[in-house]
Amino acid sequence: MAKDILTSNFFELFDLPVSYDVDLTKIQQQYMELQKQVHPDKFANGSDQEKRLSMQQTSWINEAQATLKDSVLRASYLLKLKGMDFSLENETTMDAVFLMSQLEMREKMQHVKEQDDPLTALDLMAKEIKNTTDEMMQGFADSYQTEKFDDAREWIRKLQFLKKAKSEVNTLMADIEDELMR
């Protein structure tokens, strides 16, 4: 087994300090450099063993890049490194005000197709979700920075909701596009 790549944590792998703030340009550069070393195309004529290793390492690098680039994934990964290995799907926030606002958003989504211009309405919703996400990410960053890890975890629970909402907005957009295509 290749010890180094497959056992490095994602930050080490990309030569970054373990922190919520990351240099996205550097991630992209390191990603390219790592790919140039291990990508399966470099071993097209290699042995089965090299091919297998290259595939595993590239998969790990891809996973690392996807995690570091996405703020919510990066945030949960930071907590995981702190030993908080929780399964997000099985946890939920108890914040009643937040849950109400989420319910309202759901309601809006359910009726969006009845509007005159559903795509624009969805664009607006996507923007709203993004703004709330940014605010909450800041909340996470502050809690993490001050080592209030339980608070940080609560932020992630909420961010999970927003992520789900965003993907639902995207699915709705795709549905409407599909209908327009016919």
Minimum CB separation from other proteins for residue 133, in Å?
14
Binding status of residue 90 toward other proteins by CB under 8 A: no
State the Cα–Cα distance between residues 47 and 11, nearest whole angstrom: 30
Helix (H, G, I), strand (E, B) or coil at 14: coil
Supply the DSSP string of 130-176, one letter for each residue.
HHHHHHHHHHHHHHHHTT-HHHHHHHHHHHHHHHHHHHHHHHHHHHH
Minimum CB separation from other proteins for residue 86, in Å?
15
Q: Would you tell me the crossing angle of helices 71-81 and 118-145 to the nearest 10 degrees?
A: 30
- Residue tagged 């005159």 (tokens): 116
- Residue tagged 């399966």 (tokens): 40
**153-182 mask for other proteins (x: CB under 8 A)?**
-----------------xx-xx--xx-xx-
Pick the piece of the chain touching other proteins (CB under 8 A) from 61-69, 105-113, 136-144, 155-163.
61-69
Binding status of residue 65 toward other proteins by CB under 8 A: yes
Binding status of residue 48 toward other proteins by CB under 8 A: yes
Q: CA 32 → CA 3, 59, 151, distances in Å?
A: 21, 14, 35
Binding status of residue 94 toward other proteins by CB under 8 A: no
**23-42 mask for other proteins (x: CB under 8 A)?**
------xx-xxxxxxxxxxx
Binding status of residue 57 toward other proteins by CB under 8 A: yes
Minimum CB separation from other proteins for residue 33, in Å?
6
Among 128, 100, 113, smallest CA distance to 180 is for 113
- Write out the binding residues for other proteins, residues 123-152 only, by CB under 8 A: none
**Residues at the contact surface with other proteins, assessed by CB under 8 A:** 1-5, 15, 29-30, 32-50, 53-60, 62-63, 65-66, 170-171, 173-174, 177-178, 180-181
